[in-house]
Amino acid sequence: MFKKKWTTLMLTLCLAIIAAGCGNNANNGGADTNGAANGGSNESGNKVTVNFMHLWPEGVSAGQNKIVNQIIEAYQTDNPNVTIKQEVLDNEQYKNKLKVLSASNQLPDVGVTWAAGFMQPYVEGNLFTPVDDLLSGELNGKFVAGTTEAYAMNGKTYALPLEFNIAPVYYNKAIFEQYGLEVPQTYEQFKTVVKTLTDNGVAPIALGNKDRWTGSLWYMYLADRIAGQETLAKAITGEASFTDAGLVKAAEEVQALVDGNAFVKGFNGLSNEEAKSEFLNGKAAMFLMGTWELPNFTTNEDIPQEFRDSVGFFKFPTVDGGKGNIDSWVGGPGVGLFVSENSEVKEEAKKFVEYFVTKWGEQSVTGAGVIPATKVDTATLELPQLYIDLFNEMNKASSITLFADVQMKADAAETHLNQIQALFGKAATPDLFAGEHDKAISAGK
Amino acid sequence: MNKVMSNKKIIALYVLPALLLILAVVYIPIILTGYYGLTKWNGIGSPDYIGFDNYAALLKDTAFWNSAWHSLLLALFSGLSLILYLAIAMVLASKIKGANLFRKIYLIPMLLSSVAIAQLWLRIYHPTNGILNSLLESIGFDNPPAWLAEPKLVLFALFIPILWQYAGFYILIYYAALKNIPASLEEAAKIDGANALQIAWKIKLPLAMEVIKVTIVLAVVGSLKYFDLIYVMTNGGPNGASEVMASYMYSEAFKSYDFGYGSAVGFFLLVFCLVATWLIRKLTATKDTIQYS
């Protein structure tokens, strides 16, 4: 009997402890929001906490992570009443969390967003606040032309861009030299390069098409070179049809490349990371990717110096009889910073964003080796040649077409990406590919 | 103790925390999902009620029926693989040498997380560096397939790790069920001249039937709502060739930003699982209960 009594008592005790634990948490949460609310109404003096959610975890983006921490530390030293609370997630998880938080209306005060189609539902849901006042302030004229526009909707700008990217074809100079290959200027030459490499048993192109947007880059470039930038841009926005002869031809060329074994084996089942490692290991000769990969080819000490020295790039070659310009690029602003419309500390958050964008522009060039969306004076900085070359290319670009999956609305983007995979896997004919695109884009969601 | 437990208030007190928890994280979300399935909602802002439009679209959605077919295939495959598990469990339960060690070997995959298993098998299946293709090449296959990139192969390539992942779990259950059969029955059969096969078929199998029925339900429902390994290994691709219902639900809700439609898929999945459970119970129902004596 005595024992049983003890069991009952212990059980009750357990319950009490659990209940107490829950209670405590709830209290803490309450205190936090109180603090934030006070900070919002009282500009100076009071403690303010700005929640900042970003996607540069230390393990994946060491360079960016370090810069973020430096900037935050400096900002907190300058503004002792402000605490910046970070939350860091990896890319895909970040997108999911942002989605979930927005559904319950609990977005962080400051966060990272992508341009155009990605941020549209957030803007329409009144979750992001316009940041035009920042653009006309200290940051006036600091951005590279065409970067902030991608974040504008209905005449207002809803986020400030941090990065700017274009996508060149990186190639392994050592492999090219071994087989006596020249950098191709035209698509015919490019096909010869591919043929020589396959004949010698080297995989010509690293492509991880499980991620789908990777294959989209190839299609976009072929479409741009054959049908011309305007046709492609119009088709993406729905003003023109994907059944345009040039655009269908581009899809045919994609399949011709697949037939010629231009891409690594099993590319439709490989992730971009896996494909990248084929290139980094010298197993594949070429890799079409954004300039955000630059650190891996220039300053990243984890990658052998010998390999980094042997990486070059070339512009996607022109197609004979095509309407494309060799200086036309696929790319665009990467991520930008938004301020939440429902933030209790909107003013403080905006100030932080302004500070962050400025400092990011100064530090990300040397610290992370990425290209910021703000103007940079490369002459005064010591930078890797590859970086400078690409930077200059970007400045003389005739046009930069924003990544199709970022530009399109969510549902159309999903169709586009699936169709890309189907096209590369030869599960869809070029005509079907074009038709599905038109259907999805005209559906308008 | 008896006195305490007969007090209704005390019972309520003890049941309440778990009940509240299960209500909050299981039943209320199910009801909400049912409601969202009737709306047009992109996850932001407020849902618009549109009646059964989502379900009407669902019935015509070939991509969805494709994924449902894949889920059914997986369920069928899982059901069949139970036979294999049962056979292994029978061998282990008979007194063979090293049964204990084998049991542990089979159990190990169960201790790994799905993501770890997926990463492991991604490397095994790697088209050029993978152990599987290297092996095939070394024994003379010239051009082994890229397992996860071939639309015709990918689903079956995914079944293998799933088979491997759940082996330990089911073998353990069967092992326990078989060990539970009194040895005296087996001895009596032996004295009557039954061979090993007859003992397995006529004695062990009928006596383990109740457990087998439960495992069939577990395997079928588990496969119908299967998600994690497929999500990590192929993400439903290439072009939906390995999409199952749960991954389709996920991509509709989180990638196409169509939470209303995604919820409809989810609710349909729930109904599907309930019907499957009911059907299996119905089909495997027996009137007489077996008694060990």
Check whether A344 has a pLDDT greater than 80: yes
Q: Given an 8 Å threshold on Cβ–Cβ distance, is A269 in contact with B151?
A: no
CA B118 to chain centre: 16
- Kindly identify which residue of chain B lies nearest to residue A100, measuring between CA atoms: B43
CA B74, CA B210: separation in Å to the nearest integer? Answer: 23
pLDDT top residue among A375 and B231: B231
pLDDT top residue among B151 and A36: B151
Q: pTM here?
A: 0.81
CB A407 within 8 A of CB A114: no
Residue-level pLDDT at B288: 58
Task: Extract the tokens encoding A195.
Answer: 């043929």
Task: For strands A169-172 and A284-288, give the pairing.
Answer: antiparallel
Q: Is residue A432 within 8 angstroms of chain B, CB to CB?
A: no
Residue-level pLDDT at B206: 87
Domain ranges of chain B: 63-283
Q: Is the preceding peptide bond at A108 cis, omega within 30 degrees of 0?
A: no
Nearest to A332 by CA among A292, A366, A296: A292
Give how far B240 is from chain A: nearest CA, Å.
Answer: 8
CB B224 within 8 A of CB B71: yes
* Residues of A with Cβ-Cβ distance to B255 under 8 angstroms: 410, 414
Task: For strands A311-314 and A169-172, give the pairing.
Answer: antiparallel
- Kindly identify which residue of chain B lies nearest to residue A95, measuring between CA atoms: B254
CB A46 within 8 A of CB A38: yes
Give how far B243 is from chain A: nearest CA, Å.
Answer: 12
CA B177, CA B196: separation in Å to the nearest integer? Answer: 18
Query: Which residues lie closer than 8 Å to B292 by C-beta, 6 or more apart?
Result: B181, B182, B185, B207
Q: Give tens-digit pLDDT for A350-364.
A: 888 888 888 888 888
Select the residue of B4, B128, B239 nearest A427 (Cβ to Cβ).
B239
Give how far A386 is from chain B: nearest CA, Å.
Answer: 30
CB A131 within 8 A of CB A157: yes
Q: Given an 8 Å threshold on Cβ–Cβ distance, is A4 in contact with B1?
A: yes
Give mean pLDDT, residues A424-443: 92
B63-283 folds as MetI-like fold (1.10.3720)
B152 burial (CB, 10 Å; 0-12 / 13-18 / 19+) is exposed
Q: Is residue B44 within 8 angstroms of chain A, CB to CB?
A: yes
Q: Given an 8 Å threshold on Cβ–Cβ distance, is B1 in contact with A7?
A: yes
Q: Is residue A428 within 8 angstroms of chain B, CB to CB?
A: yes
CB B214 within 8 A of CB B34: no
Residue-level pLDDT at B125: 93
Residue-level pLDDT at A10: 55
Q: Given an 8 Å threshold on Cβ–Cβ distance, is A209 in contact with B147?
A: no
Instruction: Give me chain A's average pLDDT, please.
Output: 84
SS3 at position A161: strand
Question: Which of A:210-239 have CB within 8 Å of B?
Answer: 210, 212
Residue-level pLDDT at A246: 92
* Residues of A with Cβ-Cβ distance to B43 under 8 angstroms: 99, 102-103, 121
- Kindly identify which residue of chain A lies nearest to residue B148, measuring between CA atoms: A269
A contact test, residue of B4, B115, B239 with most A CBs within 10 A: B239
- Kindly identify which residue of chain B lies nearest to residue A122, measuring between CA atoms: B44
Check whether A204 has a pLDDT greater than 70: yes
Give how far A328 is from chain B: nearest CA, Å.
Answer: 29
Residue-level pLDDT at A33: 39
Check whether A19 has a pLDDT greater than 80: no
A429 — pLDDT class (breaks 50, 70, 90): very high
* Residues of B with Cβ-Cβ distance to A419 under 8 angstroms: 239
Give how far B45 is from chain A: nearest CA, Å.
Answer: 5
- Kindly identify which residue of chain A lies nearest to residue B40, measuring between CA atoms: A445
Q: Given an 8 Å threshold on Cβ–Cβ distance, is B154 in contact with A264?
A: no
Q: Given an 8 Å threshold on Cβ–Cβ distance, is B234 in contact with A18?
A: no
CB A372 within 8 A of CB A163: yes
Helix, strand, coil share (%) of chain A residues, nearest 5: 55, 15, 30
Check whether A21 has a pLDDT greater than 70: no
Q: Given an 8 Å threshold on Cβ–Cβ distance, is B128 in contact with A266?
A: yes
Select the residue of B4, B239, B257 nearest A425 (Cβ to Cβ).
B239
* Residues of B with Cβ-Cβ distance to A96 under 8 angstroms: 254
SS3 at position B42: coil
Query: Number of residue pairs across A and B with CB atoms under 8 Å?
Result: 105
**End-to-end alpha carbon distance in chain B:** 33
* Each residue's pLDDT expressed in tens, for chain B with a length of 293 residues: 566 667 888 888 989 999 999 999 999 999 999 999 999 888 777 788 998 899 999 999 999 999 999 999 999 999 999 999 999 998 888 877 888 888 888 888 888 899 999 999 999 999 888 899 999 989 988 888 888 988 889 999 999 999 999 998 999 999 999 988 888 888 898 898 888 888 888 888 888 888 999 999 999 999 998 999 999 998 887 888 999 999 999 988 888 888 899 999 999 999 999 999 999 888 887 765 555 54
Q: Is residue B33 within 8 angstroms of chain A, CB to CB?
A: no
Select the residue of B126, B235, B254 nearest A99 (Cβ to Cβ).
B254
CA A6, CA A4: separation in Å to the nearest integer? Answer: 5
* Neighbour count for residue B210 (Cβ, 10 Å): 13
Check whether A23 has a pLDDT greater than 50: no
Q: What is residue A240's DSSP assignment?
A: S
Give how far A210 is from chain B: nearest CA, Å.
Answer: 7
Give how far A233 is from chain B: nearest CA, Å.
Answer: 21
Q: What is residue A268's DSSP assignment?
A: G
Q: Give tens-digit pLDDT for A155-192.
A: 888 999 888 889 999 999 999 999 999 999 999 999 99
Residue-level pLDDT at A31: 37
Residue-level pLDDT at B2: 65
CA B253, CA B260: separation in Å to the nearest integer? Answer: 7
Task: For strands A82-88 and A48-54, give the pairing.
Answer: parallel
- Kindly identify which residue of chain A lies nearest to residue B243, measuring between CA atoms: A418
Q: Give tens-digit pLDDT for A279-312.
A: 999 999 999 999 888 888 887 778 888 998 899 9
Query: Which residues lie closer than 8 Å to A56 by C-beta, 6 or more apart?
Result: A64, A65, A68, A88
Question: Which of B:248-287 have CB within 8 Å of A?
Answer: 251, 254-259
Q: Is residue B126 within 8 angstroms of chain A, CB to CB?
A: yes
Q: Given an 8 Å threshold on Cβ–Cβ distance, is B43 in contact with A7?
A: no
Q: Is residue B146 within 8 angstroms of chain A, CB to CB?
A: yes
Q: Given an 8 Å threshold on Cβ–Cβ distance, is B43 in contact with A425?
A: no
Q: Given an 8 Å threshold on Cβ–Cβ distance, is A414 in contact with B255?
A: yes
Residue-level pLDDT at A120: 86
Residue-level pLDDT at A16: 52
Q: Max Cα separation, chain B?
A: 76
* Residues of B with Cβ-Cβ distance to A124 under 8 angstroms: 44-45
* Residues of B with Cβ-Cβ distance to A427 under 8 angstroms: 151, 238-239, 241
Residue-level pLDDT at A41: 40
Q: Is residue B40 within 8 angstroms of chain A, CB to CB?
A: no
Placement of tokens 């005390």 in the chain: B10
Check whether A11 has a pLDDT greater than 60: no
Residue-level pLDDT at A358: 86
CA A340, CA A148: separation in Å to the nearest integer? Answer: 18
CA B123, CA A81: separation in Å to the nearest integer? Answer: 50
Check whether A32 has a pLDDT greater than 50: no
Check whether A198 has a pLDDT greater than 60: yes
DSSP state letters, A293-335: GHHHHTT-TTS-HHHHHTEEEEPPPBPTT----TTEEEEEE--
Select the residue of A18, A125, A425 nearest B238 (Cβ to Cβ).
A425
Give mean pLDDT, residues A107-116: 89
Q: Is residue A99 within 8 angstroms of chain B, CB to CB?
A: yes
Residue-level pLDDT at A252: 95
Give mean pLDDT, residues A229-242: 91
Give mean pLDDT, residues A22-33: 39
Give mean pLDDT, residues A92-106: 83
Residue-level pLDDT at A3: 53
For chain A, list the domains and their CATH numbers: 49-163+334-376 (3.40.190.10), 166-330+392-443 (3.40.190.10)
ipTM reported for the complex surpasses 0.85: no
Q: Given an 8 Å threshold on Cβ–Cβ distance, is A103 in contact with B17?
A: no
Q: Given an 8 Å threshold on Cβ–Cβ distance, is A421 in contact with B42?
A: no
A254 — pLDDT class (breaks 50, 70, 90): very high
Q: Given an 8 Å threshold on Cβ–Cβ distance, is A210 in contact with B125?
A: no
Mean pLDDT is highest, among A123-137, A408-422, B87-101, for A408-422
- Kindly identify which residue of chain A lies nearest to residue B237, measuring between CA atoms: A210
